[in-house]
Structure 1
């Protein structure tokens, strides 16, 4: 069979993958904290017709003759550029300006010798959480809410992690007491509230996770990411320190998908797919001519 037919098939498969990624980008064009994907291609191994020859005393050198065997998917990248900021005026909507990600967790385990399970309904137990043993995820989606116990949670009910008492070693699930009259979040992540006596109190400070290679994070759905060995997790830090982002309360970071670019990429992928189908039909016509030689 003709090599061009199999090269066309490989091209069609590659552009199908690209259209899948573009379709997912467009579907999430209005998803808070979404990071778009990108597909890159590589050529496949080439078949050697004749090898390269070096020059001799009587003849010059000759280059190798190779026939390509098609294309393959090189990588599917997550592009972690900054999304545009949408003002909501909701005090529990947080946008990040810069690098870093919010830390959310469930099945929380305390960092005490007994390893007791964290009880979020009892504010006394909000101290020293072991993130290594808890179910931890990371996100840029800053739409948070208050549950019935005053804990700050995301739309999936995962607790927002922070620091208690200004101690970066004391990781806690941020909680606002039920008798608080109002609360606010500063750009450095400090959560303040007004107690029943009208005094200003500090509930904690939002913790941000920093990664040297955020493209290495694994998407887990629900706008969540999981840490991997290639993400380069550098630890938790206070906002506006160690090169991590500042927090803008009352705003949301939306998707970083650019519709104009997405539609342009979709058109080029469609044309590339069509061109590869033509390769297959042309190869089929050649095979038909070969079969007709018998007549």
Structure 2
């Protein structure tokens, strides 16, 4: 059989895969925070029809004579470039401007029995990585920040997976009901004023838990007394800190959205639902520590805040699919597929001519 026919088959196969990827990209042009994929080809092994030789006294050198045996798939890459921002004016919609991923989980409620998902080590050489044992929770990653709330106030994604972050507790008792936890008020200059000086739990040694926006929280009134007030609004700051506004206009920090980053984000595995898992080539998730308190000498404790993007409220990240580029690639892939098919039909005509030589 002619080698060209098998080369044509390989060309049709890889161009079909490329068309499949392009079709998926175009279908997800409106998907929140979707990352476009691209297909790369590489040539297959070449058969030597003649070996190369170096120059001699009487003759010059001869280049190798090789016949290529087709094309194969080199890889399907995910392009993790930033998508454009789309304003939504919804306070539960957030987007990441820069590096980072939101963390979501499914499993038993994090607050039950004082379960701690993760307690990072706030030391200078800490990598802030998730432990091997995640307490039975299935943790995934996403850049889709279209959050919702359930009737208990838990922050969720569209499929009901819990959004992870740091919650504020007014006691060292990890089993304390978050609805009854003391929180700190915020002074006009932005200083966090804790109700209890010993209850600074929103920092790098805090527990990574399900984020919750309760109906009521305790705040400190002008007389210094703790009172229960209903939350009427909340905002999410650039560093993910959630600030609630209560009746009377007071503000209080109630938590912080956690973020993760990867040494090779293109190595993440897509699992559908705008969710991803880490793979052996993406590396383990590196977690951004919570808002840090100061040391006794006024210096900041170890932080990895600089390695993450800003969280923007009221906007969503759009898909980074470029339709003009996708349609151009579709034309090229279609013509490549047709040309490979033509090579097979041409080889068939040649074989037919060979068979007719017997007549």
TM-score normalised to structure 1 length: 0.91
Task: Return the offset for 1:107.
Answer: 1.0
Which has the larger Rg?
Answer: 2
Task: Return the offset for 1:126.
Answer: 6.8
Q: Is this contact kept in 2: 1:92–1:144, CA < 8 A?
A: yes
* Whole-Å separation in 2 of the counterparts to 1:94 and 1:23: 28
Aligned length: 283
1:290 aligns with 2:326: no
Bigger drift between 130-139 and 271-280 goes to 130-139
1:85 aligns with 2:85: yes
Matches within 5 A, 1:91-240: 91-108=91-108, 118-119=110-111, 128-130=116-118, 132-133=133-134, 134-164=137-167, 165-169=201-205, 170-179=207-216, 180-195=231-246, 198-233=249-284, 235-237=286-288
* Whole-Å separation in 1 of the counterparts to 2:115 and 2:164: 11
Q: Is this contact kept in 2: 1:189–1:238, CA < 8 A?
A: no
Helix, strand or coil for the counterpart of 1:283? helix
Helix, strand or coil for the counterpart of 2:212? coil
* Whole-Å separation in 1 of the counterparts to 2:29 and 2:334: 20
Task: Return the offset for 1:5.
Answer: 0.2
Which of 329, 336, 344 is the equivalent residue of 1:280? Answer: 344
Q: Is this contact kept in 2: 1:209–1:233, CA < 8 A?
A: no
TM-score normalised to structure 2 length: 0.75
Task: Return the offset for 1:193.
Answer: 1.1
* Whole-Å separation in 2 of the counterparts to 1:176 and 1:166: 15
**Gapped regions of structure 1 (runs ≥ 5):** 109-116
Q: Is this contact kept in 1: 2:100–2:308, CA < 8 A?
A: yes
C-alpha RMSD of matched pairs (Å) = 1.8
* Whole-Å separation in 2 of the counterparts to 1:233 and 1:6: 42
Q: Is this contact kept in 2: 1:205–1:238, CA < 8 A?
A: no
Q: Is this contact kept in 2: 1:126–1:173, CA < 8 A?
A: no
Task: Return the offset for 1:62.
Answer: 1.1
Q: Is this contact kept in 2: 1:206–1:238, CA < 8 A?
A: no
Match of 1:113 in 2: none
Q: Is this contact kept in 1: 2:278–2:285, CA < 8 A?
A: no
Helix, strand or coil for the counterpart of 1:187? coil
Q: Is this contact kept in 1: 2:110–2:210, CA < 8 A?
A: no
* Whole-Å separation in 1 of the counterparts to 2:69 and 2:156: 52
* Whole-Å separation in 2 of the counterparts to 1:233 and 1:28: 27
Task: Return the offset for 1:176.
Answer: 0.6
